A and B are shown apart, each in its own frame.
Chain A
Amino acid sequence: MPSFSRIRAIAEKEVFHILRDSRTLVIIFLMPLLQLIIFGYAMNMEIRQVPLLVDDLAMNSSSRALVDAFVNTDYFQLVPKEAGTLQPDELFRERRAQASLSIPKDFGASEHRVLLRIDASDPNSAQMIQNYALGIVNSTGIQTDAGIDLRAQILYNPDLKSSFFFVPGLIALILVMVCALLTSISISREKEMGTMEQILVSPVSATEILFGKVIPYLVLGLLDALIILAVGMLLFQVPFRGDFSVFLLFTFLYVLTSLCLGLLVSTVAKTQQAAMMMALGMTLLPTLLLSGYMFPISSMPVILQKLTYIIPASYYLQIIRGIMLKGNNIAQLYQAGLSLLGMSVLMLIVAARRFKLRLS
């Protein structure tokens, strides 16, 4: 029977370890906040003030009107004339322009075509520049037919703010980082230093050690998550539309899964360094890249899409975004919750078996 006082003793020791290393603690709290601020303010997909070179061979009223239409938007900004002697591609290499507009000699009279050359080394920006240019050109000339009236309605995030997307994601990221990464490091440190054997010969049972080690990190992770949540809601007005108790329930499940992952890593890794590398490889990177934290899962190749099924964060992201932004209830999220539960049970069984194997 696990004894509460022994668990508490181990947990207290672990808390001392955490508090003593104040620098790591600062990073654990500072990193997500900094990321939040960068994402909130800097992650802007809209481009403005694209440096545009205009090669106007017509120099008549039509061409001037077209150039004015480009310049009068916030999207384009004219590149000074002297650069006009260079070929567009050379100019792109010098990074003085991102697009170049050529207006032919007979423009406005017999010719209606203009050529836009775009630096497509960043394809995303290139596409956006093309769309802006099309919009400008269409609004100056063609009367478009009002044939089909398309009304778009955007739910949950009508202003398409990126912070709505990243705040829940950061909570998922920081929880897996603190719970899995720190737990695995802390356990493998004891192993590396040989103190694990000392604890094991004491009357403390393995279960008690695990609980004692894991609880402080659980608290730390939850605290960190709540801080991000509060900052996100206050600074970026991210809504919380769902039920807070549902959020807590599922977050607890996710934390449990992360801790089990950390335990599993620590039973495999022999040294702190290996534990860190493995934990990074198994937690941080997959969570960043494959969970839908930043890049949509549906755009990935099929193999990677299958891989996302074994990443806890991909379920939790659906859960937390569902609760915060869509106001989902348990009935809409129970499948994701069950997947998390199943994963943690599986990992716990494997970790426990490996742990016993190593001790015998």
Chain B
Amino acid sequence: MSREARDIVAERGEYRYGFEWPLDTERLPPGLDENVVRFISAKKGEPDWLLEWRLSALAAWKRMEEPRWQNVRYDPIDYGAISYFAAPRKGPATLAEVDPEILRMFEKLGVPLEERAALAGVAVDAVVDSTSVVTTFKEKLAALGIVFCSFGEAVREHPELVRRWLGTVVPATDNFFAALNAAVFSDGSFVYLPAGVKCPMELSTYFRINEANTGQFERTLIVAEAGASVSYLEGCTAPMRKENQLHAAVVELVALDDATIKYSTVQNWYPGDKEGRGGVYNFVTKRGKCLGARSRISWTQVETGSAITWKYPSCILQGDDSVGEFYSVALTNNRQQADTGTKMIHLGRNTRSTIVSKGISAGEGQQTYRGLVQVNRKAAGARNHTRCDSLLIGPRCGAHTFPYVDARNGSAILEHEASTSRIGEDQLFYLRQRGLSEEDAVSMIVNGFCRDVFQSLPMEFAVEAKKLVEVSLEGAVG
């Protein structure tokens, strides 16, 4: 190996979103007990049933242990040192009333909130720290019967929908982090598509952690009634801080007969500096239920941020002939660690699932793919195709793969392909010999490696994802 390849890895390119914006914020002192949960619930003006749900989650959480099976290392999290509620003090009702400081912050983030939203045809819900600050395009969507609003608003305006579906995919006591979220979640997004409605635009949420020592616990719930379809994208950024920040979100998707939900994530939380100081701890539970026949749920994620990623967007394929998909690009550079993958649970007949996972490790990054394909006894004719590729850049990173298969029906057809490769000196030399710089050569190889996944993103976001991967790899070579 050449000198370049041995020194490979070094500083990550500057994190573009690392600024802290001075917003007027209301926040709770650190610590978590019943009073905190009651405060949050009261603050949101929630009905009793939701408060009870939160309290039961808190009680369960207190009895639970933080999971230790994941292949990541970090110092214990002091849950008593985290503030569980922070919100910009000015609560807006419409775009015109949004605190101009918030608008400027999102402008700096490159999020299209106003005219740019109109041009891009993207409806945006923006969540700062814990509270949804604005939802664009609400009226246009409402004309079609589509509900797209903050979670808090959904609880006020559509309590029957929230009550019917909340926790039906990820129960309040599902796991340690999901239970924590259920107890203290303060906002998030809610989407409801009535039967037969195809959402005419991409729906999008941008999450932002702004305040120091604050956890972000948002909750997203998307319900697509029979024949409905929607494509939804979330993006995330956070300021650069020396301390770690906790993000424990929950996303639940429900697709009824013939409904389609496509959920894309571009996750760019602050990854920490190159020595591994700071960065977001991203412990997220995402799960979709294909409840109806012929329904389809597709997860696409591009994970470049966070110090630690713990995330397994999964599909429960309950309806007959339902389809689950998981397309993932995860990149770890410097000291980042990711343990990510998916679960495909085949319950219905002739259910199909596809898993395409592309893991890229550079620097001292550690990357684990963890996947489960489970075929239950009654899931005759189930099919899964898994493709799991790892790409290593430099000698100090690692890639690990834990594919679990649990097939209890003899008619299942499961395929698994896997590869691990290193960016070859010969590949780099070939491209450089043609005039490309070493960095351009690396990003070209990496983008080629990710192509299958980028192709499954909505086009405008594929471009963004490609750039993000390039930026995240800056300094990985040379």
Q: Is B a genuine binding partner of A?
A: no
